[in-house]
Amino acid sequence: MADLLPEHPDFLWRNPDPKPSYDAVIVGGGGHGLATAYYLAAHHGMTNIAVLERGWLAGGNMARNTTIIRSNYLWDESAAIYEHSLKLWEALPEELEYDFLFSQRGVMNLAHTLQDVRESVRRVGANKLNGVDAEWLDADQVKELCPIINVSEDIRYPVLGATYQPRAGIAKHDHVAWAFARKADELGVDIIQNCEVTGFIKDGNRVVGVKTNRGTINTGKVALCAAGHSSVLAKLAGFDLPIQSHPLQALVSELHEKVHPTVVMSNHVHVYVSQAHKGELVMGAGIDSYNGYGQRGAFHVIEEQMAAAVELFPIFARAHLLRTWGGIVDVTLDASPIVGKAPVENMYVNCGWGTGGFKGTPGAGWTMAHTIATGEPHALNLPFALERFETGALIDEHGAAAVAH
């Protein structure tokens, strides 16, 4: 078992055996599960809890994402939860006493067509009304902020301008997971790796325990935070989720001198690029269109992503690829997450963050913890209830905003 655990100094020493019973069990030791555990323990005094992770901490999407953090979403409900999350990010390095390299270097969302421009300007207006920092930049201002970007008019999709959120940025994702895990652990939470949940024990429609590959655990409450596998777990618990799992890929280049000062995203040609603290160029693609649970994707997606990157950043033509990888993201029909109560009593579900849940890590953990501790959703996650797929009160960020990541 130990050979499955990565050689990380912080976590080699801890992998407790599960106790027979907990007040709450969180399924999934990614960012959202760990953040939920931390906020439950730190803000709600619930410490007799366990995070069950079938692999190793942050072995899922948490340490596979491209780390973009922003809150410039179109609709009021999204702006509220993502902005709350961004405010939590701003306080977290101090609160968790861990420097996870949170860098507010701004994010640009490029516009390449008249329709893009109209949508983007509308979104800047909506963001400002919601108290989210947002600016509209013309092509010259884009060039000024990010000199390596190609703003000439003779490329396939010329840059006509961009939205810009100065408070947005990046953080080191695996460090964020360790930061939440260490604090939760300090507060008494059991973080148990190599522990796969294989079923649920119910008394009528109330969950009373989980079955795992390390035995049965009795529990008062269960939270599903298993991005990519949410619908599989829901099925085991006896309900369906309107979720599809897709591979999502990213890549990094070899290390380079600092050339890229901000984060640039283009939904139109579908690439987004930042430069990590060490110097790698970090680039993400669009989702692979087929459903799947493999942490890998198709090569043509990477090819298209590279073509888009080189067109926008001609100097990248000389950069060497270091590695590519994939994660499994769970996507809802309206590209917004589900955070709230499950149709099984005392069970809670957090999923559907799709390609953009890293930025939502603290917000998801904070609202999940509130919902689990009080038994009712917070005003911030109330609109993200599963019921919206029955009532039709969708929060359609997919069609309405530059939504990826």
Ligand X SMILES: Cc1cc2nc3c(=O)[nH]c(=O)nc-3n(C[C@H](O)[C@H](O)[C@H](O)COP(=O)(O)OP(=O)(O)OC[C@H]3O[C@@H](n4cnc5c(N)ncnc54)[C@H](O)[C@@H]3O)c2cc1C
Whole-number CA gyration radius for the chain: 21
Residue placing its CB nearer to ligand X in the complex, 29 or 106? 29
Query: Could you tell me which of 303, 301, 264 has the C-alpha nearest to residue 281?
Result: 264
Show the binding pattern over residues 171-210: x = contacts ligand X (CB under 6 A), - = does not.
-------------------------xx-------------
The long-range contacts involving 7-15, CB below 8 angstroms and separated by at least 24 positions, are 8/178, 10/178, 10/181, 10/182, 11/56, 11/57, 11/178, 11/181, 11/191, 11/193, 14/185, 14/191, 15/191, 15/192, 15/193, 15/194
Specify the DSSP class assigned to residue 166. Answer: T
Dihedral sign of CA atoms 135, 405, 53, 323 in order = negative
Closest CA to 349 of 233, 195, 217: 233
Kindly tell me which residue out of 28, 106, 161, 363 binds ligand X, with binding defined by CB under 6 A: 28
Binder to ligand X among 24, 32, 112, 124 (CB under 6 A)? 32
β-strands 271-275, 347-351 pairing: unpaired
- Residue 31 and residue 225 in contact, taking contact as beta carbons nearer than 8 Å: no
CB of 251 to ligand X, least distance (A): 9
Contact positions with ligand X (CB under 6 A) in 231-250? 233, 248-250
Name the residue nearer to ligand X (CB basis): 29 or 362: 29
CB-nearer residue toward ligand X: 138 or 239: 239
Give the largest CA-CA distance in the chain: 66
Smaller CB separation from ligand X, 65 or 367? 65
Which whole-number Å values give the CA distances from 181 to 50, 62, 114, 149, 193, in the listed order?
11, 13, 45, 38, 12
Closer residue to ligand X (CB): 316 or 358: 358
Burial class (CB in 10 A: 0-12, 13-18, 19+), 161: buried
Residues 249 to 268 in contact with ligand X, rule: CB under 6 A: 249-250
Contact map string, positions 43 to 82, toward ligand X, x by CB under 6 A:
---------xxxx--xxxxx-xxxxx--------------
Sole binder of ligand X in the list 161, 220, 228, 286 (CB under 6 A): 228
Which residue in 106, 284, 286, 362 binds ligand X (CB under 6 A)?
284
Q: Which of 84, 112, 123, 229 binds ligand X (CB under 6 A)?
A: 229
**What's the min distance (Å) between Cβ of 350 and ligand X?**
8
Q: Which part of the chain contacts ligand X (CB under 6 A), choosing from 38-46, 82-90, 152-160, 227-235? A: 227-235
Count of residues that interact with ligand X, criterion CB under 6 A: 42
Q: Minimum distance from CB of 249 to ligand X (Å)?
A: 6
Nearer to ligand X among residue 284 and residue 340 (C-beta): 284
Looking at beta carbons only, is 120 or 274 nearer to ligand X? 274
Q: Using the minimum distance from each CB to ligand X, give the nearer residue, 149 or 176.
A: 176
286: contact with ligand X by CB under 6 A: no
Task: Return the number of the residue (65 or 120) whose C-beta is nearest ligand X.
Answer: 65
Which residues have a Cβ under 8 Å from the Cβ of 108 and sit 6 or more positions away?
A: 137, 142, 145, 146, 162, 163, 164, 262, 263, 264, 265
Among 46, 139, 151, 329, binds ligand X (CB under 6 A): 329
The interface with ligand X within residues 336-375 (CB under 6 A) comprises: 353, 355-359
Cβ 37 to ligand X, closest distance in Å? 11
Nearest residue (CB) to ligand X, 69 versus 139? 69
Long-range contacts, stretch 353-357, CB < 8 angstroms, 24+ apart: 353/32, 353/227, 353/329, 354/329, 354/330, 355/248, 355/284, 355/287, 355/329, 355/331, 355/403, 355/404, 355/405, 356/68, 356/403, 356/404, 356/405, 357/31, 357/32, 357/61, 357/65, 357/227, 357/329
Residues that bind ligand X (CB under 6 A): 27-33, 52-55, 58-62, 64-68, 196-197, 225-229, 233, 248-250, 284, 327, 329, 353, 355-359, 405
